[in-house]
With several copies, the nearest count.
Chain A
Amino acid sequence: MNYYVIVDVTLRRGIADPEGATIERALPALGFSGVTNVHAGKSFRLDIEAPDETSALKKATALAERLLSNPVIEDSTARLGTRDGE
């Protein structure tokens, strides 16, 4: 059957994150104070055909590590979700 999977990709600790830094710098001017440690990442939502949850997650994790992220600079996690509400 089909499983709805969400893959989160984030920059590894220690890797520069200019996007997050730029947003953080822009915030005060836009009236947002007290916001720190801003980090930008990517996410992917997809349906995976698999016999059961475990193998769906296994497939998703492989996809996340081999394709959706670049392990040299990024970490990735895959989790099962539901179309709405996640």
Chain B
Amino acid sequence: MSSPPELLHRALGLTDDEFRDIQQVLGRDPNQLELALYGVMWSEHCSYKSSRIHLRRLPTEAPHVLVGPGENAGVIDAGDGIAVAIRIESHNHPSAIEPYQGAATGVGGILRDVFTMGARPLAVMDPLFFGELTDARQRWLVEGVVAGISGYGNSVGVPTIGGELTFDDCYSSNPLVNVLCAGALPTERLVLGVASGVGNLAVLLGSSTGRDGIGGVSVLASAGFAGNDGAASVDDAKRPSVQVGDPYEEKRLIEACLALLDGGYVVGIQDLGGAGIVCATSETAARGGVGMDVDVTAIPLREMGMQPYEIMTSESQERMLAIITPENWDAVGALCAKWEVRASIVGHVVDPVEGAHGQPVGMLRIRNGFDGEVLAEVPAKSLADEAPLYDRRRTRPANFDTVRADDPTYDERVGSPNDDLLGLLVDPAWVYRQYDSQLFLNTVVGPGRDAALLRLAGPGLPYSQRGIAISTDSNPRWCALDPRIGTALTVAESVANLACVGATAKAVVNCLNFGNPEHPEVMWQLSEAIDGMAEACIGLELPVIGGNVSLYNESGGNDIDPTPVVGLLGVLESLVAPPPGWDWQEGNAIVLVGQRSAVGDEPFPLSGTRWATRRGRRGGRMPGFDPRSLKSTFDFVAREIANICAGGVSDITAVHDVGGGGLGGALAEMASATGLGAHVAALQGHRELFSEFPGRFVMATNDVQALSERAALAHVAIDVLGSVTGDRLCIDGLVDLDVSEIVSRREGALVEALNLTV
């Protein structure tokens, strides 16, 4: 760091205005170390400076919400004295550079967010987005990312129970790797990342600190890739050294931290993620309204000759910061020794100083020895909470209307529904077979169905018969056409997934993957998507309890399609029997539950469908969004399936929501799950077969009469489509396929695309 400060701030990713703000805050010029601290803490990744004013529009409250956005993870009261913590994060740019380690450290980071709250991590999900597999680099990325999630998640001992898998050219130089984690804790053990109690100690737990990922948040996560070939273009000098994950260290860290919390030895605890020690110390101090002295020489290092700014901003993995009272130091040391986790006192909680207007100001002081020279002294709050907020320019894309006008619904030729249907089917089993999806004996429904369903149980939790369900969903095809409606419908699709396993949606987390916020079109997409999410969450009565914004997903000036990913958490009152799943039986009637046609003037739009996209048609208009009719349908389905999970008798033998691939896709998936075919009559042509909009469920029943009456009472529409029979899927005038062909095409699709020989 030799260049003079006024140039240095730009090198650190700070604008001239931001540099002036810093001078304002300090009433003087910052020194180089201080500037480096602001550089990382005021980065887009840490400060959300471009998105925060928009995120405020999301509903965040409900009686069962214990912790909303802003903490490390959102927490809800799931009943029976158990709280569930959930969080989703992106690890996009690191995964583009080193897919295995990028994805692995993404898992490690999200786990820490969850056990920071005192929760034992119980489940991971991984929404993934790559370019088309015809490109060898994409195949390398897919294999590396999946291996990284598998290698880290399985070893650290948290089951991965679901995710998403999307291929589209817009991700070819900028893959997206999002990771969700949910954990549970006894409600009374909830802890927050707060430093309080002057005289308390800040203890650094876990790995030693190296030069890994220095400036990762400012350099990697808060800037786009220069060239078109993704990683290859991040110039070596700029690129922070890649972080390597150590699941074994993380496993011991989890056990040690949970034991510390059980023992009541910590007053606050905080994970070290982006921006490392400076982030953890300034955030805990800011939350507690206190000051903190940090001794750089007390931090165990992995490398020689590290500068203070490197030590403070390093993103070395598998580290936590615990705030403890001095009396507990011996007990903490002993517990950490058992788990072979390194523990070092690196900070002291100190009194706030008096500010210019007599107000108390908690200072973060970096010192060379606790009573040595002060290397940096800045208000903790100014780092953690007071980054400038931007209302960046927003403009609707110039081609918005022409894209809308290019609607494939009518002018795209019909072709062969048989071949089209086979071409749409992809079984992600090759991916999720690589994940331990069963650890802790909770997994009633694992990956491969509509939503994952778990028993609400785990080491150290009070007994409960409840279940929780989780689904992640996204639809960049929809959001590219209309980010607002697209995002609203994505939330609806996710609630539908939960209903299929009998769960009532309780909370939403989201990961907003967008392009460069300095492009007004991208800011418009982000703002619209947030409005759409707000609209859906208000309409479906769902609080948003956490999220993550990943911007600068661009390469060579090209932004990815808007990709908001939602994670839905649902609860079941009683889970003693598995939900019916897709396993329909010979002779069952097949019915469509919910509004048969889309909201708006077009009953079966093909815009934004997989069918149209495969034909290179990416235009058209999205259908409308009617939360009231959706909600009554979702509630009806959830109630019907919950009754089965509670051990009740039912005429329903199978259920599946209509998602990607449309009605045809849903029927084909149910056929391949059982090997049983079906005869379906009178669909409205290929449009109804391939049209994709949420709110429709395919159910199989052995008593149409009874089901229809219950639906009528709930004011939910229901249509008989046909019946389960034989070993062919026959849809009059459209489809006639041997189920075994459907099975082989669906199962083979991914493995062939990856051209693996298994």
Binding site for B on A (CB under 8 A): 11-12, 14-18, 22, 25, 29-30, 70, 72-73
Within B201-246, which residues are at the interface with A (CB < 8 Å)? 207, 210-212, 231, 239, 241-246
A25 to B208, CA, bound (A): 14
Using a Cβ cutoff of 8 Å, how many contacts connect chains A and B? 41
| Contact residues in B for A29 (Cβ distance below 8 Å) | 136, 755
- Is B136 within 8 A of A16, CB to CB? no
B758 CB to nearest A CB, Å: 10
Q: Which one, B136, B210, B211, contacts A30 given CB within 8 A?
A: B136
A70-B98, A72-B97 as given contacts; A16 in contact with B755, CB under 8 Å:
no
Given contacts A30-B136, A72-B231, contact A15 B242 (CB under 8 A): yes
Q: In the bound complex, do residue B248 and residue A18 qualify as a contact, i.e. CB atoms below 8 Å apart?
A: yes
Nearest first, the 10 A-B pairs at minimum CB distance are A18-B246, A16-B244, A73-B242, A14-B241, A72-B98, A72-B97, A14-B211, A73-B98, A72-B242, A16-B210
Which residue numbers of B lie inside 8 Å of A, CB to CB? 97-98, 101, 136, 207, 210-212, 231, 239, 241-246, 248-249, 302-303, 316-317, 340, 755, 757
Contacting residues, chain B, for A70 (C-beta < 8 A): 98
Chain A residues near B97 (CB, 8 Å)?
Answer: 72
Contact between B244 and A73, CB atoms less than 8 A apart: yes
A-B contact pairs, 27 of them (CB 8 A): A11-B244, A14-B211, A14-B241, A14-B303, A15-B241, A15-B242, A15-B244, A16-B207, A16-B210, A16-B212, A16-B243, A16-B246, A16-B302, A18-B244, A18-B245, A18-B248, A18-B249, A22-B248, A25-B757, A29-B755, A30-B136, A70-B98, A72-B98, A72-B231, A72-B239, A73-B101, A73-B242
Least CB distance, B686 to chain A, in whole angstroms: 36
The B contact surface, by secondary structure, is loop
Give the complex CA separation of A16 and B243 in angstroms: 7
Specify which of B244, B302, B316 lies most central, judged by the most chain A CB atoms within 10 Å of its CB. B244
| Chain A residues closer than 8 Å to B317, beta-carbon distance | 16
Q: How far is the CB of A64 from chain B (nearest CB, A)?
A: 16
From residue A55, how far is it (CB to closest CB) to chain B in Å?
24
Measured CB to CB, the closest approach of chain A to B134, in angstroms, equals 12
Could you tell me the distance between the alpha carbons of A47 and B548 in the complex, rounded to whole angstroms? 45
Measured between alpha carbons, how far is A29 from B249 in the docked complex, in Å? 18
Specify which chain B residues have a CB less than 8 angstroms from the CB of A73 in the assembled complex: 98, 101, 242, 244
Q: How far is the CB of B209 from chain A (nearest CB, A)?
A: 10
B105 CB to closest chain A CB (Å) equals 10
Question: Could you tell me the distance in whole angstroms from the C-beta of B640 to the nearest C-beta in chain A?
Answer: 47
Residue on B nearest A17 in the bound complex, by CB: B244
Tell me, in angstroms, the Cα distance from A19 to B70 when the chains sit together: 35
The docked-state distance in angstroms from the alpha carbon of A79 to that of B757 is 30
With both beta carbons as reference points, the residue of chain B lying nearest to A31 in the complex is identified as B136
Question: Which residues of the partner chain A approach B757 to less than 8 Å between Cβ atoms?
Answer: 25
Query: Bound complex: CA of A15 vs CA of B212, how far in Å?
Result: 7
**Beyond A30-B136, A72-B98: 8 further Cβ-contacts under 8 Å?**
A11-B244, A16-B243, A16-B317, A18-B248, A29-B755, A70-B98, A72-B97, A73-B101
A83 to chain B, nearest CB (A): 15
Residues of chain A contacted by B231 (CB below 8 angstroms) = 72
Q: Nearest CB to that of B755 among chain A residues? A: A29
| Bound-state Cα–Cα, A16 to B317, Å | 10
A23 CA to B425 CA, complexed, in Å:
29
**B270 to nearest A CB, angstroms?**
22
The smallest beta-carbon distance between A71 and chain B, in angstroms, is: 10
Residue of A16, A18, A72, A73 with most partner-chain B CB within 10 A: A16
**Is B316 within 8 A of A16, CB to CB?**
yes
- For A11, the chain B residues whose CB sits under 8 A away are 244
Instruction: Tell me how far the C-beta of A15 lies from the nearest C-beta in chain B, rounded to whole angstroms.
Output: 6
B100, chain A: closest CB distance, angstroms: 8
Give, as a whole number of angstroms, the nearest-CB distance from B237 to chain A.
14
List the B side residues contacting A17 at CB < 8 Å.
Answer: 244
Set of chain A residues within 8 Å of B302, measured between Cβ atoms: 16
Q: Which residues of B contact A15 (CB under 8 A)?
A: 212, 241-242, 244
Give B207's nearest chain A residue, CB to CB: A16
Shortest C-beta distance, A5 to chain B (Å), equals: 22
Could you tell me the distance in whole angstroms from the C-beta of A41 to the nearest C-beta in chain B? Answer: 14
Residues in A neighbouring B245, C-beta threshold 8 A: 18
B303 CB contacts on chain A under 8 angstroms: 14
Shortest distance between the CB of B252 and any CB in chain A (Å): 11
CB distance from B522 to the nearest CB of A (A): 28
- Chain B residues with CB under 8 Å of A12's CB are 241
Contacts of B248 in A (CB 8 A): 18, 22
Most buried by B among A25, A29, A73: A73
Q: How far is the CA of A5 from the CA of B303 in the complex (A)?
A: 22
Q: State A11–B98 Cα separation when bound (angstroms).
A: 13
